[in-house]
Amino acid sequence: MDVADLSTQVVRVLDLLGVAANVLLAGILAREQRFDLVGFIVLGVASGLGGGLLRDTLLQVGTPVALTDVAYLVTAIGVALFAYLVRTSGRWWLRGVRLIDAVALGTWGAVGAQRALDAGLHWLPAILLGTLTAVGGGMIRDLLVRRTPIVFGGNTLYATCATAAAAVVVLLDRLTPQGWAGATTLVAAAVGAALCLLAYRQGWRLPEA
Amino acid sequence: MDVADLSTQVVRVLDLLGVAANVLLAGILAREQRFDLVGFIVLGVASGLGGGLLRDTLLQVGTPVALTDVAYLVTAIGVALFAYLVRTSGRWWLRGVRLIDAVALGTWGAVGAQRALDAGLHWLPAILLGTLTAVGGGMIRDLLVRRTPIVFGGNTLYATCATAAAAVVVLLDRLTPQGWAGATTLVAAAVGAALCLLAYRQGWRLPEA
Amino acid sequence: MDVADLSTQVVRVLDLLGVAANVLLAGILAREQRFDLVGFIVLGVASGLGGGLLRDTLLQVGTPVALTDVAYLVTAIGVALFAYLVRTSGRWWLRGVRLIDAVALGTWGAVGAQRALDAGLHWLPAILLGTLTAVGGGMIRDLLVRRTPIVFGGNTLYATCATAAAAVVVLLDRLTPQGWAGATTLVAAAVGAALCLLAYRQGWRLPEA
């Protein structure tokens, strides 16, 4: 396995970890709202796979990855089942989920932008689709449980981290030779995740209107 | 007309009956919220055709059936107009609509899974898409009138019946020869509908978290 | 540049003006809800481009125009930035935005129906898609800020104007020779916009159920 294959595999694992983290976060909401098992699965699948489904549906380059690569659904449904059965709590647990969620925001922003560039899109829609990949699942989740989507404000940098990761992908895509897409995605994901964690620790927010 | 054609026709009729039942259920909500005629039509179309539109949009195998087979829109708009003009009520009326809705849940779960298999999907996403076909319209309806979607819990078995119908399709698809898809769909729809009616009568629910 | 090209260009300009007007209207809501800059952009993009994205995603004839013609995103993001930075108010300002919004309703209804006919759809789904193009962005906006979508009633003729524009396109499409699509769209958009402004001035509403 060469470097390109290896980085592609690492990106896929990060992508699936992001699914797991988002399904766990959805599980916390589902428990608060006293959903049944189907509710856990529906909310979990919408949270964990919604962003990628939105991205692939908008790109219109074939059936979404989340439906053709069965690992995505297995992860989402498996973790939703776990969240339903096991009442998890505690500061360290939440901290771990948040850490993975930050990595997911960066990864999804980067992966989304890369896929859009691969489909021949201009860099500006590519950054939009990267951001939408990262925040779309959470927006659908918040709509379904009737919360104002957290993407609109009132919390530390969130969509911004995904936008940053997507922007790094767009930049590096111009500066690096073909075949480096996997490595580029990893670097961009790391930048996005680091920004997200830093913003969380420092309490960085965008100013309200 | 041979058996395969006949069962395909029966499935289409059940599918359209499901549209009608869901538009009627949406009309009850639209009347409660004092919508105007456009509101009846928008909510009715979203309820009756939303699940199939979601399924076909996610599958990405061409323009959704609900837009290419004009019978779907004619049914949805016609029934919405009827629901706007005629103030229906009474126990027997609601009971009839519920019966058709149960048949619709089973039919849509089965049809959705069949279409996903036809598009070459793995059985797990096929079951997901079957379920989404059946509950998607109701989820969109509940979002539009700002109710917590009933799919999340607090009622008798609902998505579960569609999932059961979808699972029967997946199972029978492996056990029966090609060309039996129509008959398979009918059997699966009957299983889903029966489970739904039984659950309603017996008050079966999934346990809350 | 001949007449066909000219009318196509005029339609594109009206389309982009509609995006701008809808992003401004979204900005008013975003300010009320104290969103941050990302919130302004997300709500603005969803309002201004949502209808066209829905239309193109449902039609499934390739990546949506709003993602391939970068002028759409530039307009949406630029106007969202303006709405975030500049606190606009005043009767004349709102009146101007409303005027453009009426033109947008007509234009979007007409453009959406034309695109659906071009994709080979029946006239009934074409009218539906025209209407959805015009009201879809506003529906998504209202969902995201948790208001009951205004399309359901309680205001002067709104979706109806887009439906009228779409119906004019469908009619003229049968009566005029090929190549007149641009001019047809302009006439239809004018009819829709005029109806919308007249309804607003006269307080015309559809009766509630």
Q: Can you give the pLDDT at residue C208? A: 78
Per the prediction, chain C carries an average pLDDT of 91
DSSP conformational letter for C143:
H
Residue in A with minimal Cα distance to C28: A209
- State the Cα–Cα distance between residues A185 and C12, nearest whole angstrom: 35
Residue C112 lies in a domain: yes
- Contact criterion met (CB < 8 Å) for A38 and B129: no
Residue B209 lies in a domain: no
Residue in B with minimal Cα distance to C123: B70
Mutation target among A23, A29, A42, A61 for the B interface, most CBs of B within 10 A? A42
Residue in C with minimal Cα distance to B67: C125
Q: Two tokens at A154?
A: 């009132």
**Residues belonging to chain A with any Cβ–Cβ distance to chain C shorter than 8 Å:** 57-61, 116, 119, 121-122, 124-125, 128-129, 135, 139, 143, 146, 148-149, 151-154, 158-160, 163, 205-209
Other CB atoms within 10 Å distance of the CB of residue C42: 26
Domains held by chain C: number = 1
- At residue A112's C-alpha, the angle toward residues A108 and A118, to 5°, is 145
Q: Can you give the pLDDT at residue C1? A: 55
3 state DSSP class of C209: coil
Residue C209 lies in a domain: no
Nearest beta carbon to residue A42 from set B58, B121, B151: B151
- Contact criterion met (CB < 8 Å) for B74 and C124: yes
Q: Two tokens at A62?
A: 């074939």
Contact C108/C130 with Cβ under 8 angstroms? yes
* Chain A closest-CA separation from residue B103 CA (Å): 20
Full 3-state SS string of chain A? CCHHHHHHHHHHHHHHHHHHHHHHHHHHHHHHCCCEHHHHHHHHHHHHHHHHHHHHHHHCCCCCHHHHCCHHHHHHHHHHHHHHHCCCCCHHHHHHHHHHHHHHHHHHHHHHHHHHHHCCCCHHHHHHHHHHHHHHHHHHHHHHCCCCCHHHCCCCCCHHHHHHHHHHHHHHHHHCCCCCHHHHHHHHHHHHHHHHHHHHHHCCCCCEC
Mean pLDDT of B182-188: 90
pLDDT interval class at B202 (50, 70, 90)? confident
- Contact criterion met (CB < 8 Å) for B153 and A38: yes
Chain B partners within 8 Å of C124 (Cβ): 70, 73-74, 77
Residue A146 lies in a domain: yes
- Contact criterion met (CB < 8 Å) for C125 and B67: yes
Chain B partners within 8 Å of A42 (Cβ): 135, 151-152, 159
Residue A136 lies in a domain: yes
Q: Can you give the pLDDT at residue C24? A: 92
Which candidate, C2, C78, C9, places its Cα nearest to that of C40? C78
- State the Cα–Cα distance between residues C20 and C99, nearest whole angstrom: 12
Q: Can you give the pLDDT at residue C133? A: 95
Q: Which of left, alpha, beta for A87 (phi over 0: left; psi -120 to 50: alpha)? A: beta
- Contact criterion met (CB < 8 Å) for B153 and A39: yes
Chain C partners within 8 Å of A58 (Cβ): 53, 57, 63-64, 67
pLDDT in tens, C164-182: 999 999 999 989 887 787 8
pLDDT in tens, C13-25: 999 999 999 999 9
Q: Count chain B–chain C contacts defined by CB atoms under 8 A.
A: 84
- Contact criterion met (CB < 8 Å) for A153 and C39: yes
| Least reliable range by pLDDT among A20-24, A42-46, B44-48, C98-102 | C98-102
- Contact criterion met (CB < 8 Å) for B84 and C129: no
* Chain A closest-CA separation from residue C205 CA (Å): 29
Nearest beta carbon to residue A124 from set C33, C38, C70: C70
Q: Can you give the pLDDT at residue A90? A: 76
Q: Two tokens at A32?
A: 């608060």
Q: Give the ipTM.
A: 0.91
Range of the domain at C39: 3-202
Q: Which residue stretches of chain A have pLDDT < 50?
A: none
Chain C partners within 8 Å of B67 (Cβ): 58-59, 116, 121, 125, 128-129
Mutation target among A28, A38, A54, A86 for the B interface, most CBs of B within 10 A? A38
Chain B partners within 8 Å of A31 (Cβ): 209
Residue whose pair of structure tokens reads 């993001």 in the numeric block? C77
pLDDT in tens, A72-99: 999 999 999 999 999 877 788 888 888 8
- State the Cα–Cα distance between residues C116 and A99, nearest whole angstrom: 45
3 state DSSP class of B1: coil
Residue C208 lies in a domain: no
Q: Can you give the pLDDT at residue A1? A: 55
- State the Cα–Cα distance between residues B148 and B1, nearest whole angstrom: 45
**Of B146 and B67, which is predicted with more confidence?**
B67
Residue A163 lies in a domain: yes
pLDDT in tens, A139-148: 999 999 988 8
Q: Which of left, alpha, beta for C204 (phi over 0: left; psi -120 to 50: alpha)? A: beta
Q: What percent of chain C is modeled with pLDDT above 90?
A: 68
Residue B208 lies in a domain: no
Q: Which residue type does C197 have?
A: L
